[in-house]
Chains A and B, each alone.
Chain A
Amino acid sequence: MRKKRWVPWVLIGPALLVIVLTTIYPLLAALYYSFHKYNLRRTPQFAIQIGEGGISIDWSLLSLENYTRAFSDSRFINSLEVTFWFTVLSVGLSVVIGLFIAVIVQKGGWLHTLTKVLLIFPFAVSPALKGYSWRFMLNENYGVYDLLIDSLLVRPLNALLSLFNALPLVEIPLISESIVWLGDKFWALFMLAMSETWGWAPLIALMFVGALGSIDEQIFEAARIDGANRVQIFFRVTLPLLRPVILIVTMLKTIFSLKMFDQVVTMTGGGPVRATQTINYYIHQMGFVRSLDIGYASAMSYILVIVLTICAALYVALVLNRD
């Protein structure tokens, strides 16, 4: 082999340097800020001072105050809860609907192929635009989603309920036709998760389509010959074989959901009454909008970093296990 030992380091060096500067530097700086009282409205006092006499450290300026403050801040606790439920809803819906789409479109005629091509479309719509378009379509006066939900779901359901209520049994209250989707605490969070699902379920479907395609056709053939129907094949053959991919995709989507920010700004603005204030949104509010408390924002984002580090470790373990 003529390859020289130092060559790879020359080739990797520049990229590595840029990655370190744009990820490790901010990680360290944010950690440092998080132990300080650091508000942009005042001149901050930093513990490490570099002067003529060398480096001096004033330990009294460092404190865990920002961290203790976070855990007694009911709005921060609220943002943890919101993020948790958003993640559970959006990951669950994206993976289940993605799996459903993948199984349907995987093989078949031209309509299957066409649908497979369309799956890439939501990827082209930026998250910020996704938020705006969903907000527009959910409007209670002129939103097309509102119209469709009312006429295709609520009214038929109410008709059924009225029939049932005609019987002298229990009286079930009818569903309101005038729900303000983004004005209701539950529905706002649910619709935020739905907008995320709209963007991700098709992409996750594409991931599963690839995985399904790599399964040996003879396995399905054998199951069919043994008399299994489609539902049985799905639960007994497809699902177990896809398990490693499902785990990886679920973990990856969990990480993306925990990082979600854009649509909260453009779709709900955190409302109503903080019902959709995710961690990222609350950090942004405290650091850049309502107060300019960089120290507190850094501490809160470090709590998120710790959560994501655990997820990342799990993800890497899953990926390495599979290879």
Chain B
Amino acid sequence: MIKSLSLAKLLETAALLLIVFFIMLPIVWLALTSIKPQEKAYTTDIVFAPTLDNFRIIFSDTSVIINEGTQRERSEVGRDMFPSVINSVVVSGATILIAIPLATIAAYAFSRYLFLGNRALLIWILTTQFIPAIVVAIPFFTLFRSIEVFDRPLLGTQLGLIIVNMSIVLPYAIWMIKGFVDALPGEIEEAAYVDGCNDFQVLFFISLPLIRPGILVASVFAFIMSWNEFLFALIIGREMRTMQVALMTTSGARGIMWEQMAAAGLVVMLPIFFLAMFIRKNVVYGLTMGAVK
């Protein structure tokens, strides 16, 4: 009895280690490659003298020379990635700054008011997430080509990408925040109504402060979504490269420079790790829009 029990334990530990290995290998390998010297990046060696050269290269124009030989050949490749970091931060930041306030008041209404079509509207909002992104991208591509803001077509601008990002961020944010409002007992609000507050006073002075943690979680979730978004960034964002698209610029005439790609990849994922850890308990709820808790 005892013998079979310990065998089961051993198998379980082995399975756990296998799971950890399966999950961590790509992440650890990317991190290792990013600090490898160039001559070691194309080997599976794990002993090397770590260097920050790759980060220095992607944040300067020198990678053009490394990738292409001369600076003239293709100026698109291997440019300094710093503007792309800024683009990603601006686009994702502005996306949540617009989406979260709208989502918050909408979520509150969905949770606290009984009105005709409440449930049906909520489910309709959920189903908009099943529309393939490419269908959203096609008409906005043609539209943004012809709309000009400050004498520049919207296509390939931060504003254009922010607008299109709304289609993926807003529905998720509404569902997530609604979950937090639902979890809040209504008695405090009732008391405020009795004391003579009107609807908006209750919302802004009583409920909003109480759901602040939920709003923060939804903001982080929405930030991650738009930070990691690729299809819109490619089709609508275009030469205004976000970091996801800038990853492609590590590819030059000699193929992908993996040590540069790894360094850029680390820049892309490291901040998101911390954010993801912070909302760890809410990711499932967000991704499934409350269908799985």
Contacts and interface: CB of A to CB of B under 8 A. Distances in A.
B10 interface: no
Interface in B251-293: 256, 258, 261-262, 265, 268-269, 272-273, 275-277, 280, 283-284, 287-288, 291-293
What does DSSP make chain A's interface, helix, strand, loop or mixed?
A: helix
A133 B269 CA distance: 12
A124 B141 contact: no
A180 interface: no
A132 B133 contact: no
B131 interface: yes
A186 interface: no
Contacts of B164: 22
A294 B123 CA distance: 30
Contact of A261 (B138, B142, B230, B262): B230
Interface in A115-154: 115, 117-130, 132-137, 141-144, 147
A147 B42 CA distance: 13
B135 A301 contact: yes
Contacts, number: 269
A255 interface: yes
A126 B24 contact: no
A200 to B, nearest CB: 10
Interface in A283-306: 283-284, 287-288, 294, 297-298, 301-302, 304-305
Interface stretch (B56-64, B65-73, B78-86, B166-174): B166-174
Contact of B15 (A104, A122, A124, A312): A104
A280 B134 contact: yes
Contact of A19 (B24, B44, B128, B235): B128
A161 interface: no
Nearest to B124: A19
Interface in A1-44: 1-5, 7-9, 11-12, 14-16, 18-19, 22-23, 25-27, 29-30, 33, 40
Interface stretch (A51-59, A68-76, A216-224, A245-253): A245-253
B132 A18 contact: no
A141 B24 contact: no
B24 to A, nearest CB: 7
Contact of A129 (B15, B42, B244, B277): B244
A255 B265 CA distance: 27
Contact of A8 (B12, B113, B139): B113
B20 A319 contact: no
Given A133-B29, A211-B292, A261-B134, A142 B230 contact: no
A309 B130 contact: yes
A124 B269 contact: yes
A99 interface: no
B269 A125 contact: yes
A305 B16 contact: no
What does DSSP make chain B's interface, helix, strand, loop or mixed?
A: helix
Nearest to A214: B293
A198 B166 contact: no
A259 B268 contact: no
A23 B131 contact: yes
A236 interface: no
B162 to A, nearest CB: 11
Contacts of B126: 316
Contact of B265 (A33, A132, A147, A316): A132
Contacts of B141: 287-288, 294
Nearest to B261: A132
A261 B231 contact: yes
B231 A288 contact: no
Contacts of A5: 115
Contacts of A126: 227-228, 230, 244, 268-269, 272
* From A132, A287, A308, residue with most partner B Cβ within 10 Å: A132
What is the interface residue range for chain B against chain A? 35 or more
Nearest to A262: B230
Interface string B145-188: 00000000000000000011011001100100000000000000
A304 B110 contact: no
A15 to B, nearest CB: 4
Contacts of A18: 102, 166, 170
B138 A230 contact: no
A316 B129 CA distance: 12
B265 A302 contact: no
A163 interface: no
B134 A301 contact: yes
A14 B102 contact: yes
A256 B33 CA distance: 30
A33 B139 contact: yes
Contact of A101 (B19, B167, B231, B269): B19
A88 interface: no
Interface string B4-33: 000010001101100110111111011001
Q: Which 3 A-B pairs have the closest CB atoms?
A: A29-B139, A22-B167, A126-B228
Interface of A: 1-5, 7-9, 11-12, 14-16, 18-19, 22-23, 25-27, 29-30, 33, 40, 100-101, 104-105, 108, 111-112, 114-115, 117-130, 132-137, 141-144, 147, 198, 202-203, 206-207, 210-211, 214, 230, 245, 248-249, 252, 255, 258-259, 261-262, 265-266, 280, 283-284, 287-288, 294, 297-298, 301-302, 304-305, 308-309, 311-312, 315-316, 319-320, 322
19 contacts: A4-B198, A8-B109, A8-B110, A8-B113, A27-B131, A101-B19, A120-B277, A124-B269, A124-B273, A128-B230, A128-B244, A129-B269, A136-B261, A143-B44, A198-B26, A203-B284, A255-B130, A261-B230, A294-B138
